[in-house]
């Protein structure tokens, strides 16, 4: 049974700070890793994906992957109140994704 | 540009009255998924089509069925909705190769209410 673990939070950070969201996974064979943002009552929105070890940056977002330790993280720099949402980590299977339960992020003005 | 479209956005049905939710995509992705998501929970995969091949999750109730008449469209049929089936239903699509699954994109969802 593939598992993806996330701290449910909420993770509270002040506006302008760096938010760090973490995710661990159980299947060493996983190759693709995704971060989705989900606002309350809305559908998940893909914000980052990463396939290789190391860092991948896109604007204020940085995804970090460490396959040896089986964790993937998402850093959000200069956090804004509009970043307040639930962040879902997802890891690939053969043709499906396994989702974590998500971490709620609260950014206070 | 809408890429994954779901209709209707909100659906109210009566207990036991069949309902069909639809999903269409303009991405030409070969994989389409149906998820059920309840409040404060992760999306739960119900089933997916890999090309024309239907893949049912082991714990998906028989009450849920799906059809994919062509690459662009996929339907979720709930034959006899119960109160516990009230949820957000999410359609998603992806491009998948033999060795890699690419990004999965979600539609806006259909909020189902059962009265």
- Cβ-based neighbour number of residue B87 at 10 Å: 20
pLDDT bin (cut points 50, 70, 90) of residue B97 is confident
Which residues are CB-neighbours of A95 under 8 A, at least 6 positions away?
A: B31, B48, B50, B55, B94, B96, B101
Q: Are A9 and A105 in contact (CB under 8 A)?
A: yes
State yes or no: pLDDT of A81 exceeds 80: yes
Task: Report pLDDT for B1.
Answer: 66
| Chain B residues in contact with A32 (beta carbon < 8 A) | 100-102
Task: Report pLDDT for A94.
Answer: 75
Mean pLDDT throughout A57-66? 97
Task: Report pLDDT for B59.
Answer: 93
- pLDDT, one tens digit per residue, over A5-60 is 999 889 999 999 999 999 999 999 888 999 999 999 999 999 999 999 999 999 99
Chain A residues contacting B via beta carbons under 8 Å: 31-32, 34, 36, 41-46, 49, 51, 88, 90, 92-97, 99-102
- pLDDT, one tens digit per residue, over B45-57 is 999 999 999 999 9
Mean pLDDT throughout A97-109? 95
The phi-psi region of residue B40 (left if phi > 0; otherwise alpha if psi is between -120 and 50; otherwise beta) is left
Task: Report pLDDT for B98.
Answer: 67
State yes or no: pLDDT of B108 exceeds 80: yes
- pLDDT, one tens digit per residue, over B12-30 is 999 999 999 999 999 999 9
State yes or no: pLDDT of A95 exceeds 70: yes
Mutation pick from B39, B97, B101 vs chain A, by most beta carbons of A within 10 Å, is B101
Torsion of CA A32, A18, B106, B111, to 10 degrees: 140
């Amino acid at each position: 049974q593939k598992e993806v673990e996330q701290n449910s939070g909420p993770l509270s950070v002040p506006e302008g700070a760096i938010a760090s969201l973490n995710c661990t996974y159980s299947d060493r064979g996983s190759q693709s890793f995704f971060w989705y943002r989900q606002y309350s009552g809305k559908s998940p929105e893909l914000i980052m994906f990463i396939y290789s070890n190391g860092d991948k940056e896109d604007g204020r977002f940085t995804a970090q992957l460490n396959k040896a330790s089986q964790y993937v993280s998402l850093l959000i720099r200069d956090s804004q109140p509009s970043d307040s949402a639930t962040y879902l980590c997802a890891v690939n299977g053969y043709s499906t994704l396994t989702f974590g339960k998500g971490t709620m992020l609260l950014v206070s003005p | 540009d809408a890429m994954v479209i779901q209709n209707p956005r909100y659906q109210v049905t009566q207990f036991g009255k069949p309902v069909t939710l639809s999903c269409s995509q303009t991405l030409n992705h070969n994989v389409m998924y149906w998820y059920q998501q309840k409040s404060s929970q992760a999306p739960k995969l119900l089933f997916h089509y890999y090309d024309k091949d239907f893949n049912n999750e082991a714990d998906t109730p028989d009450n849920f069925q799906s059809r994919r008449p062509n690459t662009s469209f996929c339907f979720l049929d709930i034959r006899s909705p119960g109160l516990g089936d009230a949820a957000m239903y999410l359609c998603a699509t992806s491009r998948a190769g033999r060795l890699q699954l690419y990004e999965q994109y979600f539609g806006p969802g259909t909020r189902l209410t059962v009265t």
